[in-house]
Amino acid sequence: MKKQKTRSGIQRKYIKYTVALLLLALLLSCGGVSWVVQKNQETVMMDTYNTMCENLGASLDLLYEKTDEVTADCITYDSVQKSLRSSAMSGTQRSALSKYFAYINLDDVAEYCYVDNKKNVYTKSYSKLTFHAFRESGMEQFLKGSYATTKWFWTEDTLFGTGQEALFVGRYVHNMDYVHEPGMLFLKMDPAFLQEIAGSEKNLDPGVLMQITDADGAVCFQSGTKTESKNTLSYVQERISAAKGTGMIISREKTGNGMLCAYRQKDSGMTISIFVPDFVLYAGMGKILTVLVMIFLLVMLFAVILSVYFSKRLSLPIQKISKKMAGFHGNDYTRMEELHTRTELDQIGHSYNEMLGNIEQLVTEVKSQEKELRTVEVNMLLNQMNPHFLYNTLDTIYMLARINKEETTMRMIQALSKYLRLSLSKGEEIVTVADELENVKSYMEIQQIRNADLFRYEIHCDEETQQERMLKLILQPLVENAIKYGFDSQEHYRIEITIRREKEELVLSVYNSGTPITPDACEKINGLMQLPIADMKNSFQSRKNGYGIVNVLTRLRLTYEDQLSFYVISKEDGTTFVIRIPRQV
């Protein structure tokens, strides 16, 4: 089972990731395409119905102008003007006037009523409407406040007695020559009058709600009476009532569940509104998404088939390499056959064969070196010197010098013994500042004995700072470098060692008044911190020059890493080496 799992692991993962990426692409593409298509369709549908609302509003304007022209023609008609004069008209004239209104140039007039200023009522021949009945109907109140303008109003038909709500067109009729009480003209319009404005319901998508309302918000005409449209009636009426002005008072207004647009006629106050629900705005999106999903499923199927084919071809050489590597136990160095896939796998197989050869060679070399190492260890054990023997020998020499009263020899042996004892420091790498200063002081005393009057030294370090801890054998190589390269045969040079604390750092400086270091050497030393540790020794032409500084800086960098600062300052009066390390109490 393990073997089968190893062979098919890469192929299964490749197919799994391919399918996951394709599914992600499907979701992102479907989401992006559907969003773009939805927005485009929404814009087109909103523009279409908004334009439809504007056109219907223009038709309403034209129809109002038509009624205004027709009522104006009625006022200027001779018989109408005669009816307003003081002299009464004959029965024949009144009958002719009643028939006149039946032939006015306005379609869809269901009933008409003209009342002159002498309380005569003119209607269709079959109507028995009296002036008392006219007064009881209350129609006169709808013309209050208007002198000669045409009024549209939606109200219950109390004039002709049907009791149904209808649209009426009314207007005062004034005598054009004399000042008399005006008459009143009322036209009851047939429902087809408003249907001509709204057009046929077939022009609307199912579910779209179109309404014509009067100035008070009463619904005069409505199309699209499905349940989903009725649920929006209250919202549409409230929104139209809140809108101010005339013309397109609401344009492309997106609500929570649809789009609303409305046009208000400036003279009559009548409003045409269209509400388009979301399922109409986004009709057809389901089909588009279905087509997209089908296309992506076909692409995914094709991609999976290709993935299986190519992954199988690629995984076979990988399985061969894996099998060979899994069977290697460190004893058999037989090379595997070279691959010829024209891919990076050929290089992997070739590198594996080279690696086997290198491992075989290394194993042979390690075995040989182990033999040599054991031989060296035996020799070292045989030749190892006990440090106590060295100290005892120096003590014996010191006693002989004392017996012979050789003061200079005694001082040098004492300084050398102290220097060696502090240098070994029981194998510890980190020592106190006091021990490090004692070590470098012993070294300088030995050098003063060797080179009398060549230099003098000063050490500045308070007692608290001497308790700090630092890496050992740091100051001595810098002092040795100053004596070796900075002092010539002249006398009275000065070495000044200063150690102080600055916040969380310990600052060490070694100054010598000898010949200043050259600018080139100063630049090289200051650039050592930017080099890899292994490359620092290559900065100087001769391995002897700079060896001590490189040795010190290498040990410092290995111990303090990035917390170290090391630089040299060269001036006319001498050279100063500065080291900054973190404090270790």
Residue burial 559-569, b: 16+ Cβ < 10 Å; e: rest: ebeeebebebe
The pLDDT score that the predictor gives to residue 465 is: 92
The pLDDT score that the predictor gives to residue 25 is: 80
pLDDT tens digits, 229-247: 566 677 888 888 888 899 9
The pLDDT score that the predictor gives to residue 426 is: 53
pLDDT tens digits, 296-353: 788 878 877 887 777 776 667 776 776 766 666 666 666 666 666 667 667 777 777 7
pLDDT tens digits, 386-402: 555 565 666 677 677 77
Pairing of strands 574-582, 505-512: antiparallel
Rg (CA), the chain: 57
- In this predicted structure, the answer to whether residue 579 has a pLDDT above a threshold of 60 is yes
Residue 96, C-beta contacts closer than 8 angstroms, at least 6 positions apart: 79
pLDDT tens digits, 247-298: 999 998 888 788 899 999 998 889 998 888 888 888 777 777 788 778 878 8
The pLDDT score that the predictor gives to residue 338 is: 65
pLDDT-derived band at 165 (thresholds 50, 70, 90) equals very high
The pLDDT score that the predictor gives to residue 203 is: 66
The residue ranking higher by pLDDT, 565 or 232, is 565
Cα–Cα distance, 159 to 165 (Å, whole number)? 11
pLDDT tens digits, 93-141: 888 988 898 889 998 899 999 999 888 999 987 778 889 989 999 898 9
The residue ranking higher by pLDDT, 387 or 566, is 566
The pLDDT score that the predictor gives to residue 354 is: 76
Q: Among 197, 132, 144, which residue's Cα sits nearest to residue 171?
A: 144
Residue carrying the six token digits 């070399």: 365
Kindly report the length of the chain: 585
Q: What is the average pLDDT value for the chain, to the nearest integer?
A: 81
SS3 571: strand
The residue ranking higher by pLDDT, 38 or 555, is 555
The pLDDT score that the predictor gives to residue 18 is: 78
Nearest 5°: phi and psi at 569? -120, 125
